[in-house]
C-alpha cells in the first residue's frame, strides 16, 4: 500500500510539473508576442509621420511658388520655432551627434536640461554603438544613424536590440524615394540615439531625429523605454495616467523650464492631455526624473517637439 501511494504521488508530481511547464511556456509566448506589437507600432508611427511630412513639404513648396516663403518662419501663438524643452548640446565633429560632457544630470537638478548620455559601467548589461552611414552615396539624398546596441546580461536582449535598430533605421529607405519619386530637390535624414537613463530598473533610449526636405527642417523626438527586470518595452499608455492634472502640471512646468506660456485659450487642457497621450507623445526616464512631452508634426507647417520634467512622477503612474 505504501509503495502504491508513493507511485501515485510520483505520478501526480510529474503531471503537476508538466502542467507548470506548459503554463510557463505559454506565459513567455504571450509576453513575446505581446511585445511584437511594438514593431508594428513603430512601423505605423513611421507611416503617419511620413504622410504628415509629405503634406507639410508639399504645402511648403506651394507656398514658395506663391511667393509666401516667409510663412515658414511664422509659428503658432505660443509655438516655438523648432524644438523646446531639453536641448541637445553642440555637435560632435565625428558623427554630428550632440554632446556636452560638462552636463551630468542628477536627481538633485531642478529639471532636465539637455539630451545627453547617462551610460554606466557597473551593471550586468552595457551598450556599444552602431552606425549606419548612407550619407556619401549622393548629394541630394542622405541618411545617417547612430544608435546603441545592448550587450551583456539583460532579458530578451536580441529582441530589444531589434526594436532599437528598427526605430533608428525607420526612415532609411525614404530619402531616395522622396527625391526620385516625389520630385523634391533634396532629402537628408539624421537619427542620433542617446541612452538617457541606465540602471537596474529602467533603460531609456531617445532618438533625436532631424529631417531636411528641400529647405524645410523637421525635427522629431522618439523614445524606447525598457523594463530591465523583465526585458519588456514600457508603453506610455500602460504606464502613465494622462489626466487633466498631469496636463496642467506639464503646462506649468513648461513655462518654468522652457519659458513657454501655453495659455488656456491657445492650448486648452484637454488638447494638451491628448497631445501628451497621442502617438506623437514622448516619455522617457532620466537621472533627474521623468521627461514628458509631444511632437507637433505639420501644425501650421511647423515641426518640432516640447518636453518638461516631472520629478515626482510616481503619483501619475497607473496602479499595476
pLDDT digits (tens, 9 = 90+) for 79-100: 444 444 444 443 443 456 766 6
Q: Residue 182's pLDDT is what? A: 75
Strand ranges (E), 169-215: 187-198, 202-213
Between CA 129 and CA 76 the distance in angstroms is 38
Q: Residue 130's pLDDT is what? A: 96
User: Edge-to-edge strand order for the sheet containing 302-310?
Assistant: 281-285, 290-299, 302-310
Between CA 210 and CA 189 the distance in angstroms is 6
Instruction: Tell me the whole-structure pTM to 2 decimals.
Output: 0.75
HEC string of 53-80? HHHHHHHHHHHHHCCCHHHHHCCCCCCC
Between CA 106 and CA 97 the distance in angstroms is 22
Q: Which residue has the cell 513657454?
A: 260
Q: Which CATH number fits domain 33-316: 3.40.50.2300, 3.30.565.40, 3.40.50.300, 3.40.50.720?
A: 3.30.565.40
Is 95:318 a contact under the CB 8 Å cutoff? no
Q: What is the dihedral of CA 115, 117, 118, 123, to 10 degrees?
A: 150
Domain borders along the chain are 33-316
Between CA 313 and CA 310 the distance in angstroms is 5
CA proximity to 230, closest of 42, 5, 28, 18? 28
Structure confidence by residue, pLDDT tens digits, 134-170: 876 667 888 999 999 999 999 999 999 999 999 999 9
Regions of the chain short of the pLDDT cut 70: 1-96, 98-100, 136-138, 298-302, 320
Q: Residue 311's pLDDT is what? A: 95
Q: Residue 134's pLDDT is what? A: 85
> Looking only at Cα atoms, what is the longest distance across the chain?
99
Is 300:75 a contact under the CB 8 Å cutoff? yes
Q: Residue 20's pLDDT is what? A: 39
Q: Rounded to an integer, what is the distance from CA 195 to the centroid of its chain?
A: 11
Amino acid at each position: 500500500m505504501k509503495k502504491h501511494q508513493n507511485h501515485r504521488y510520483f505520478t501526480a508530481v510529474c503531471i503537476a510539473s508538466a502542467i507548470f511547464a506548459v503554463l510557463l511556456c505559454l506565459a513567455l509566448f504571450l509576453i513575446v508576442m505581446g511585445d511584437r506589437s511594438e514593431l508594428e507600432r513603430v512601423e505605423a508611427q513611421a507611416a503617419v509621420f511620413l504622410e504628415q511630412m509629405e503634406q507639410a513639404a508639399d504645402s511648403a513648396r506651394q507656398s514658395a511658388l506663391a511667393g509666401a516663403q516667409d510663412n515658414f518662419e511664422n509659428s503658432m501663438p505660443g509655438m516655438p520655432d523648432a524644438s523646446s524643452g531639453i536641448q541637445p548640446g553642440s555637435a560632435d565633429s565625428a558623427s554630428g551627434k550632440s554632446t556636452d560632457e560638462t552636463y551630468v544630470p542628477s536627481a538633485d537638478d531642478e529639471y532636465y536640461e539637455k539630451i545627453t548620455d547617462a551610460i554606466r559601467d557597473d551593471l550586468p548589461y552595457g551598450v556599444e554603438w552602431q552606425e549606419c552611414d548612407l550619407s556619401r552615396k549622393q548629394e541630394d539624398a542622405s541618411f545617417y544613424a547612430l544608435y546603441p546596441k545592448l550587450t551583456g546580461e539583460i532579458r530578451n536582449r536580441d529582441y530589444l536590440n531589434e526594436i532599437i535598430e528598427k526605430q533608428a533605421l525607420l526612415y532609411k529607405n525614404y530619402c531616395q524615394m522622396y527625391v526620385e519619386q516625389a520630385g523634391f530637390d533634396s532629402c537628408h535624414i539624421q537619427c542620433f540615439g542617446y541612452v538617457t537613463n541606465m540602471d537596474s530598473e529602467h533603460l531609456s533610449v531617445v532618438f533625436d531625429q532631424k529631417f531636411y526636405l528641400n529647405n524645410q527642417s523637421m525635427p522629431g523626438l522618439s523614445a524606447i523605454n525598457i523594463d530591465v527586470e523583465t526585458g519588456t518595452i514600457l508603453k506610455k499608455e500602460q504606464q502613465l495616467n494622462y489626466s487633466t492634472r498631469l496636463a496642467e502640471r506639464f503646462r506649468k512646468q513648461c513655462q518654468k523650464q522652457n519659458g513657454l506660456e501655453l495659455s488656456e485659450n491657445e492650448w486648452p487642457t484637454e488638447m494638451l492631455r491628448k497631445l501628451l497621450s497621442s502617438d506623437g507623445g514622448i516619455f522617457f526616464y532620466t537621472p533627474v526624473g521623468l521627461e514628458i512631452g509631444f511632437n507637433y508634426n505639420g501644425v501650421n507647417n511647423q515641426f518640432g517637439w516640447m518636453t518638461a520634467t516631472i520629478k515626482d512622477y510616481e503619483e501619475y503612474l497607473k496602479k499595476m
